[in-house]
Amino acid sequence: MDSLFRGTLWTILILFTLPHLTCNMLCPGSCLCNIMGSVKCVGDAITDIPHNLPVHTYLLQLNGTQMNIINERSLADQDLLLRFSLTYSHLHAIHPNAFHVAPQLKSVKLSSNDLSTISARVFSPLATLEQLYLDGNQLETIAPDMFEGLVSLLYLDLSRNKLTSPASDVFDGLTKLTFLNLGRNSINKLPPTIFHSLTNLLQLMIYNNDLEELEAGIFDKLVNLVELKIHQNQITILPPQVFWSLKNLKTLTLSSNRLQAIPEKTFYNMPKLTKLTIYNNPLLSLPDQLMGHMPDMTDLYLYATNLTTVPGNVFANMSGLLRLNFHLNDKLRELPSDLFCCLPKLEKLSLKSNDLLYLHPQLFSGLTTLGILLLNDNKLKSLPDNIFQGLGGVLTVDLKNNHLETLSGDTFLSNSVLKALHLGGNPWDCTCSIRGIAKWIRKHEHVVLDGQDVMCHSPVDQLLRTIGSLQDEEFNFCDAKILKSSYLFTTQTPVVASTTTMPTTMPTTMPTTMPTTMPTTTSGTTEGATQQVTILTTTPTTKPSALPSTILSTMLQTPTTNEPNEEFLPNTEKPSSHYKSDNFYDTLLIEEGPEFVHHNLHKGWVYVWFLPSNAALTGLLMFCYILLVAAGLFLIFAAVFCMYRLNNIMDKLKAQCAHPPE
C-alpha cells in the first residue's frame, strides 16, 4: 500500500517535470520560454524569429532585438501563434506577404520601431486580428486600404507617429473597433466623416495634435463613445452641438486648446459625463447655458483660463460634483453669489491663485459638506464676517497669500471641526481691529498651521510679530476714546486716563476736538477736588467693566453726531496713527469705564479724577461728600456765628472798660 502510494507520487512528479524540461531544452538562446506557451526573446543576437521555438508557442514577444525586417517567411510554421510582439527593434520594413503565413494572429504589436511606410493591405489576411499596435513609429500617412479586411479589429493604436491628415476612408469597415488612438501625432485636419464607420467605438484619443478646428458632425455616429480626448490641440472654435450625439460619453478632455469661447449648450445631452476638462484655454467668457444635466460629474477642472467671471449657473447642473478645481485663473476677479448654490455634495473647492478681490457673504452658504476650501493666492482684502458660517464640516481652509489686513474674531465661529487653517502671507494690521481674531488664533494655535508666518505688517512697531503672540492686554488701549484737542496740543500735555475694556457696542467714531465745556454735572463736583490729581497716570482696572458711565458716554457721544471724523474710524480706516507714540502728546485718552470722570484745567495741566460708578459706593461717597460739605458749611456758619458772638461780647467788654460802673 505504502509502496503503491510512493510510486504514484513519483509518476506524478515525473509527468509534471517532463514537459518543463523539454520546453527548457527546446528554448532558443536569448529567449525565455514558459511552460504555458509564452516566449520572450531579448537582445541584439536576434535578427529574425528563432526557428526552434516550442511548438505550442502562442505568445511571442521580441524586444530590443536587431530584427529590422519582417520577412515573407518569418512567421511561417507558427500555426499556434496568436499574439506576436516585436518592439524596440528598429523595424523599418514589413514584407507585403509577411502575414499571409499567419492568418490566425489575434494580436500584432509593432510599437516603438522605425516604420515610416507600410505597404497597403499588408494586414489584410488577418481577418481575426483584434489588436494592432503601430504606436511609436514614423508613419506620416496611412494608405487608404491599410486596414482593409480587419473586420474583427477592436483595438488600433496609431499614437506617437507623424500623421498629419488621414484620409476620410482609412477607418471604413472597422465597425467593431472599440479603441482608436491617434494621439501624439501632427494631425491638423480630420475629415468630417472619418469616424463614421466606428459605431462601436468606446474610446477615441486625438490628444496632442495640431488640430485647429473640429468639423461639424465629425462625432455624430459615435453613439457608443465613452471617452473622447481632444486635449492639447490648437482648437480655437467648436461647432455648435458637436458633441450632441455622444449620449454615453463619460470623459471629455478639451484642455490645453485655444478656445476663447464655447458655444451655448455645448455640453448638453451628456447625462453620463463624469469628467470634463476645459482648463488651459484662453476662455474669455462662458455662455449662460452651457452645462446640461450631468449628475454623475464628480470632478471638474476649470483653471488657467482668461475668464474674469462666470455665469452664476455654470455649475448648477452638476449636482453630484465632489471636487471643483476652479483655480489658477489669473484674471478671475468676481464670482456670482449663487455660483455654488447647487452643489450639495461638494467636498473640495479650490479657488486658489485666482484674482479674487471680494467674496459675496452668501457665496459658500450651500456647501454644507465641504471639507477643503482653498482660497490662497488671491487678492482678498477682507472677508464678510459670516462667510464661512454654513461650512459646518470644513476641515481645511487656506487663506494664505492674500491681502487680508484683519478678520472678524467670529469668522470661524461655526467651523467647529476645522483642523487646518493657513493665514500666512497676508499684510495683517495689528491695530485694534486685529484683537478679536488674535484672540481666536491664540485659542486655536493647533489649527493655524502656519502660525509662524501670520505676522504683523503694520504698524511699524509691531512689524514681524506673530499675531499669536499679541496678548489681549496689549489692546486695552483700544477701549479708550481718542480726543484730539487743540489746547492740549499747544500745552503738549499728555493725559492718559485709566483703562478698562471697551464695550463692543460703543460707537467707534471719535470727536476731533474735546468739548470745551464739560457737562455741568461733572464740572460742578470737580471744584473742590482739584487736589486729587491724575496726570500721566495709567490705572489699569482689573475688574471687567459692565456698563459704561452714562455721563461719560453722553459726553463723548454728543460731539460725534455733530462732527463725524473720518480720521479715526478704527475698523474701516487705518487706526494706526493714534497708536504711534510720536503722536501721543496731542491726544487725550479717556477710558470709558464705569467711573464718573472729573477734570479741571489749571495752568496748562489737565487734572482728571475718577469716581467709581458702583451705585452703592457712589451713593456712600456722595453722601459723605454732602455730609462733608454740610459739615463744612455748618462749621463756617458756626464759626461766623461764634465770631459774631465774640464780636458782640468784645464790644460789650470794650464799652464796660471805657465806662467802668461806679
Between 233 and 509, CB nearer to ligand NAG: 233
Between 287 and 392, CB nearer to ligand NAG: 287
Return the range that interacts with ligand NAG (CB under 6 A); candidates 4-12, 282-290, 493-501, 590-598. 282-290
Q: Which residues pair with 305 in a beta bridge?
A: none
Q: Does 316 bind ligand NAG (CB under 6 A)?
A: yes
Of 395, 401, 353, 389, the residue nearest 370 (C-alpha): 395
Q: Does 308 bind ligand NAG (CB under 6 A)?
A: no
Of 491, 506, 450, 519, the residue nearest 587 (C-alpha): 491
Q: Are 248 and 271 in contact (CB under 8 A)?
A: no
Q: Which three cell numbers stand for residue 637?
A: 456758619
We find the least distance from the C-beta atom of residue 133 to ligand NAG, in angstroms, to be 13
Return the range that interacts with ligand NAG (CB under 6 A); candidates 97-105, 291-299, 556-564, 654-662. 291-299
Return the range that interacts with ligand NAG (CB under 6 A); candidates 18-26, 241-249, 286-294, 320-328. 286-294
In the list 260, 386, 541, 618, the residue contacting ligand NAG (rule: CB under 6 A) is 260
Q: Which three cell numbers stand for residue 111?
A: 510599437
Q: What amino acid is encoded at 418 in this protein? A: L
Q: Does 317 bind ligand NAG (CB under 6 A)?
A: yes
Compute the distance between CA of residue 230 and CA of residue 281 in angstroms, rounded to an integer: 13
Query: For residues 69-108, which are near ligand NAG according to CB under 6 A?
Result: 87-88
How many other C-beta atoms can be found within 10 angstroms of the C-beta atom of residue 155?
A: 17
In the list 293, 323, 345, 465, the residue contacting ligand NAG (rule: CB under 6 A) is 293
Residues 200-239 as x/- pattern, contact with ligand NAG by CB under 6 A = ----------------------------------------
Q: What amino acid is encoded at 1 in this protein? A: M
Q: Does 244 bind ligand NAG (CB under 6 A)?
A: no
Q: Does 282 bind ligand NAG (CB under 6 A)?
A: yes
Between 235 and 404, CB nearer to ligand NAG: 235
In the list 38, 63, 224, 241, the residue contacting ligand NAG (rule: CB under 6 A) is 63
Q: Does 289 bind ligand NAG (CB under 6 A)?
A: yes
Q: Which residues contact 157 (CB under 8 A, 6 or more apart)?
A: 111, 132, 133, 134, 135, 179, 181
Residue 557: C-alpha distances to residues 368, 377, 494, 608 (Å): 43, 42, 22, 19
Q: What is the DSSP string of 189-224?
A: ---TTTTTT-TT--EEE--SS---B--TTTTTT-TT
Give first-to-last CA distance, the chain, whole Å: 179
Between 241 and 306, CB nearer to ligand NAG: 306
Q: Does 64 bind ligand NAG (CB under 6 A)?
A: yes
For residue 500, give the H/E element and its range.
none
Return the range that interacts with ligand NAG (CB under 6 A); candidates 47-55, 189-197, 290-298, 404-412. 290-298
Between 87 and 181, CB nearer to ligand NAG: 87
Between 79 and 288, CB nearer to ligand NAG: 288
Q: In what order do the strands lie in the sheet with 587-590?
A: 481-484, 587-590, 495-496
How many other C-beta atoms can be found within 10 angstroms of the C-beta atom of residue 656?
A: 10
Chain residues that interact with ligand NAG, rule: CB under 6 A: 63-64, 87-88, 260, 268, 282, 284, 289, 291-293, 306, 313, 316-317
